[in-house]
Amino acid sequence: FVAAVDEDAVAPADAPAEERPPGGWVVAPRARARWLFSRVAGVVAALAGVVAVVLMLAVPGLRPDPLDVFFLDSAARSLAVVTLVTYVLAGVHELMHVMAAAATGVPARLRITRRLYFLTFETNLTGLWALPPRRRVGPLLAGMGFDAVVLLVALLLRAALVGPDAFLAAVVVVELSALVVQLFVFLRSDVYAVMTALLGCTSLDRTTRLLLRRSVRRLSDEQAATLAATPARDLAVARWYRWVHAAGYAVAAWFFVAFFVPSTWHLLVWVRDAVVVHGPTTWPFWEALLLGAVLLSPRVLTGVVALRDLAARRDVRRARVRPARRRARRVAAAPR
């Protein structure tokens, strides 16, 4: 009965290409370790987050510092390792969503996507809409629960002076960043999904963008019809949420200009200089290529995903235009 949720299409496998859900890997594993996703486990994960915050506030030596990510003898090696660690932790984060959904009997769809210019591993949990809102919250927060537990474990190991302290400090920065990013609801994060479920919204992001578009220019007939058919609950929430949405995009635009572009350019220049200075018969030459590939991989993958999305939108537009053209030809050829 649900056609789409925030423009994530829900359609049978034999539906036309333009009506099929976005690509990815469908995962419907057997329910395993249900206790990990029980109410008790949820309370433990919430307490882990609270205790982690208390520790960072109470113990100055455990407070994260942005420079903690540079824990090796060179900045490039440090950032390369941090990038790989981030990939692994993000992958397990999504696995928690999948396992939590499986515990409720709901399959998931995994894919690599993006939010603006940020590379994102995404678990599409549209099937959760078959459940009451409160039962959706657990699977939606399972990833953040994992991040909170890892953050607390790293802090406790540092406090007990167990393990490589410099590496654990870098893990703390990575996991704290992962949790903070989930608060960026304008990027349709986990917190956004929970918010829409509890507020009873179905297409909040689309409704918000249509309201913002209408405030600066006239909507097309199709967009106006979509907005007119929007549920009243979505419209009521979007009227105040649109300002959060707009402010978030403004901050993202500032970050893109102030940090993202300069850091990407700096990485490219560093790789170029290292390759030019050292010949292909030396280890620094190949190390620079390897580290550069790892460091630039999030940017490259984001660009590939952007091109994939652009091609998909073009295919959908073509699929919509063809039937209209066929109807127009039939009308023109009909006897009068």
Query: How confident is residue 329, by pLDDT bands cut at 50, 70 and 90?
Result: low
Any residues with CB less than 8 A from the CB of 43 and at least 6 apart, and which?
A: none
Position 259 scores a pLDDT of 82
Asked whether residue 328 is domain-assigned, the answer is no
Query: How confident is residue 327, by pLDDT bands cut at 50, 70 and 90?
Result: low
Find, among 64, 256, 94, 59, the residue nearest to 175 by Cα. Answer: 64
Query: How confident is residue 314, by pLDDT bands cut at 50, 70 and 90?
Result: confident
Position 19 scores a pLDDT of 45
Asked whether residue 53 is domain-assigned, the answer is yes
CA torsion through residues 225, 131, 45, 100, sign: negative
Distance CA 85, CA 88 (A): 5
For the record, the structure tokens of 91 come out as 């992958």
* Mean pLDDT across the chain: 85
Asked whether residue 262 is domain-assigned, the answer is no
Asked whether residue 167 is domain-assigned, the answer is yes
Question: With pLDDT > 70 as the criterion, what percentage of the chain qualifies?
Answer: 87
Asked whether residue 332 is domain-assigned, the answer is no
Distance CA 260, CA 59 (A): 32
Any residues with CB less than 8 A from the CB of 225 and at least 6 apart, and which?
A: none
What is the widest separation between alpha-carbon atoms in the chain?
89
Question: With pLDDT > 90 as the criterion, what percentage of the chain qualifies?
Answer: 40
Q: What is the mean pLDDT of residues 242-268?
A: 89
Asked whether residue 82 is domain-assigned, the answer is yes
Most confident of 130-139, 150-159, 183-192, 310-319: 150-159
Query: How confident is residue 283, by pLDDT bands cut at 50, 70 and 90?
Result: confident
User: Is 113 within 8 Å of 305 (Cβ atoms)?
Assistant: yes
Q: What is the pLDDT of residues 24-57, one digit of tens each?
A: 677 766 777 788 888 999 999 999 999 999 999 9
Asked whether residue 284 is domain-assigned, the answer is no
Output the DSSP codes for 8-62: EE---TTS-GGGSPPPSEEE-PPP--GGGGSHHHHHHHHHHHHHHHHHHHH-GGG
Distance CA 139, CA 132 (A): 12
Any residues with CB less than 8 A from the CB of 137 and at least 6 apart, and which?
A: 194, 197, 198
Q: What is the pLDDT of residues 112-146, one digit of tens each?
A: 888 888 888 888 888 888 888 888 899 999 999 99
Domain span at 125: 4-250
Position 30 scores a pLDDT of 74
Query: How confident is residue 212, by pLDDT bands cut at 50, 70 and 90?
Result: very high
User: Residue 84: is its pLDDT beyond 90?
Assistant: yes
317 or 36: which leads in pLDDT = 36
When divided into structural domains, the chain yields a total of 1
Query: How confident is residue 13, by pLDDT bands cut at 50, 70 and 90?
Result: very low
Asked whether residue 322 is domain-assigned, the answer is no
User: Residue 232: is its pLDDT beyond 70?
Assistant: yes
Position 74 scores a pLDDT of 85
For the record, the structure tokens of 163 come out as 């393990």
